[in-house]
Amino acid sequence: MLLTTLLLAAPAIPQATPVRPPQTQKPAARFTPPTQNGVGCSQIGGSFCVPFDSTFDVVPFPATFNACNRNDDGSGQLFLSGWSFDFYGTAWSDVWVNNNGNVSFGVPFSTFSASGFPISSFPMIAPFWGDVDTRADSGADGAVWFREWSTANGDAVNRLVIVWDNVGYFNAESDKLNTFQLILTDGADPLLGAGNNVCFCYDDMQWTTGSASNGVNGFGGVPATVGANQGNGIDFFQIGRFDQPGGAYDGPGGNSDGVDYLDGQQICFSVGAGGTNVPPVFVGATVDYTVDVGSTLMFDVQAIGPETPEVVTLTNDASALANFSTMDTPGNPAVSSATFTPDVTQVGVQTITFTATDDGTPTASSDLVVQILVSPSGSIGSTLCSPNAANSTGLPAVLFAAGNEQASANDVSLFVGNLPPNAFGYFATSQSTGFLPMPGGSQGDFCINGPEVGRYDTAPISATVEGFASQGVDLTQIPHPVLGSVAALAGETHGWQLWYRDSNPGATSNWTNAVRVTFQ
């Protein structure tokens, strides 16, 4: 259980006490705060990296105005259970959660007008440093919540999650709400990726600035800041500064940006090594795409060097991938604009690794793996056993059916991608389903098992060197173990699955997924 204390109970701090930046005096609240009313707290919620549920508790802010600890500029201290958070080489076993969209180390922090990073003498992590005010209690705005996972308490990971749940802005406004999440770990949480110990996760972001920071209706004035600051004036991490609606974004420096750019973003990184160059970060990254044969997929990959004024260069390993091209523009952000118009031989999963490299000292790089599922045009049917076991390519082979679901049209073809180069195999067919794991010692599973399994044993397939194969299906001559062959009729469902040879690492075999088509 995570132990907590309030702002009024300041513990002894072994580290050097940071200095708070100065700020102007805030105007008085525009209403008299109600006393605590004992009403329970409700969660509004959103889409987060870590699901937000009833296991979370409200952060213990002082001078709160109801049972949900609603406040303006408050701070609450949280003690970690048996683990510490590494912030630029300093291990912290406690963290101050500040209502204004950030956490600090050593002392609480009430400053409501954000500064750009780096700031000397003040360590903080800011998923969104702006003037958060949760006092409106209108039923639309939320509160600030937390939950800890600890291996000392039997959990699989060490993780602290803080959620600003649909929070409003000063002065007690709730016409626009921000929803975002901060994750701190010990660097070993697989959710964040290897080595990362911080993640910012955003749902819907609707405002940037409170009225005490010269904002008008939630925008303008002093921009909100997103990033992390070690406090030595050198080491920092900045995503950007935001003061307007819309999705405009020109990197961590430069002009202030549009808050809608953050919607749905998941930005994970490491601040666990002092005095080193932080590798580039991919922002707005989508890693899974789908496209039909003959259609054109266009997408952008964007990476920033969070330590301005770095220049980032993007490259990729897809020079041998036919029908794929990129236009790569270095900068901060660097942008790679990709175009892919696959042909039928590229059915399956195509994997591309983008590498972002900065010009820091020393240089640093990071990778983003993008997978594109290419389907044949006119795909039909549903799948079972998908995905099946990976083969020697590192991917599972993928089976599709395409054509016409009218049995009388007799127009169905089977397409397979991600086979081992030059592999051969046979299609099996059945109207039944039945899961049979690793039959005959194969590395995959058979899931159209049943009494009427037939095999196209006179027509083996052979994959190309790229791992592609296809075969037309005669719906009037479907193999049957007793009747020899049968015809597909309207109302019947027939399934197909491919068994194929492989070497992984020794001689073996495997199975694709199964595809089933209900005919009309």
Structure tokens at 305: 């060097």
Evaluate whether 485 touches 497 at the Cβ level (below 8 Å). Answer: no
Rounded mean pLDDT of 493-503? 97
Q: Which of 16-20, 72-76, 516-520 has the lowest mean pLDDT?
A: 16-20
| Type and span of the H or E element at 370 | strand 365-375
Query: Exposed e or buried b for every residue in 496-505, given b needs 16+ CB within 10 A?
Result: bbbbbbbebe
* Mean pLDDT to the nearest integer, 228-247: 92
- Could you tell me if residue 88 is left (phi over 0), alpha (psi between -120 and 50 degrees) or otherwise beta? left
Task: Provide the pLDDT for residue 26.
Answer: 62
What pLDDT score was predicted for residue 272?
83
- One-letter identity of residue 379: S
pLDDT confidence of residue 24: 52
What's the alpha-carbon Rg for the chain, to the nearest Å?
A: 28
Which H/E stretch holds residue 445? strand 445-446
Provide the pLDDT for residue 412: 96
Instruction: Supply the pLDDT for residue 25.
Output: 58
Output the CA–CA distances (angstroms, integers) from residue 102 to 201, 265, 270, in the order listed.
13, 17, 17
Token readout for 40 is 């329970």
| Average predicted confidence (pLDDT) for the chain | 89
- For β-strands 224-229 and 124-129, DSSP reports them as antiparallel
Distance CA 42, CA 250 (A): 37
Q: Read off the pLDDT of residues 194-237 as tens digits, 9 standing for 90 and up.
A: 888 999 999 999 999 999 999 999 999 999 999 999 988 888 88
Give dist(CA 18, CA 122) in Å, integer.
5
* Residues sharing a CB contact under 8 Å with residue 14, sequence separation 6 or more, in sequence order: none
Token pair recorded at residue 504: 């992984």
- Rounded Cα distance between 286 and 288, Å, is 6
Residue 60's closest CA among 119, 112, 7?
Answer: 7
Whole-number Å distance between alpha carbons of 103 and 97: 5
- pLDDT tens-digit profile of 433-443? 999 999 999 99
| Per-residue pLDDT at 254 | 81
Res 447: pLDDT: 96
Q: Which of 124, 128, 153, 142 is nearest to 58 (CA)?
A: 142
Mean pLDDT for the stretch of residues 370-378: 94
Residue 56's alpha-carbon distances to 81, 148, 161, in angstroms, are: 16, 8, 9
Which H or E run includes 303?
strand 297-304
Note the pLDDT of residue 362: 85
Helix (H, G, I), strand (E, B) or coil at 385: coil
Query: Within 13 Å of residue 17, how many CA atoms lie on the same side as its CB?
Result: 9
Q: Are 85 and 95 in contact (CB under 8 A)?
A: yes
- H-helix or E-strand containing 400? strand 398-403
Which has more pLDDT, 32 or 123?
123
Q: Which of 217, 215, 216, 204 is closest to 260 using CA atoms? A: 204
- Residue 330 pLDDT greater than 90, yes or no: yes
Please give the pLDDT value at position 64. 63
Whether omega before 108 lies within 30 degrees of 0, making that bond cis, reads no
- The answer to whether the CB of 157 falls within 8 A of the CB of 166 is no
**Is the pLDDT at 18 greater than 80, yes or no?**
no
Q: What is the DSSP string of 63-124?
A: S-SSTT---BS-EEEEE-SS--EEETTEEESEEEEETTTEEESSS-----S--PSP-BT--E
- For 181-206, the three-class secondary structure string (H helix, E strand, C coil) is EEEEECCCCHHHCCCCCEEEEECCCC
Question: Could you tell me if residue 262 is left (phi over 0), alpha (psi between -120 and 50 degrees) or otherwise beta?
Answer: alpha
CA-based nearest residue to 304, from 262, 254, 252: 252
CA distance 152 to 83: 8
Q: pTM score > 0.85 for this model? A: no
Closest CA to 209 of 129, 138, 103: 129
The answer to whether residues 78 and 146 touch, using CB atoms and an 8 Å cutoff, is yes
For 97-131, what is each residue's pLDDT tens digit? 999 999 999 999 999 999 999 988 789 999 999 99
pLDDT tens-digit profile of 176-199? 999 999 999 999 999 998 888 999
First to last CA, the chain: 59
**Cβ proximity of 115 and 213 under 8 Å:** no
Answer yes or no: is pLDDT of 35 > 50: no
pLDDT band per the 50, 70, 90 thresholds, residue 65: low
Q: Is 516 helix (H, G, I), strand (E, B) or coil?
A: strand
Report residue 354 as tokens.
Answer: 């983008």
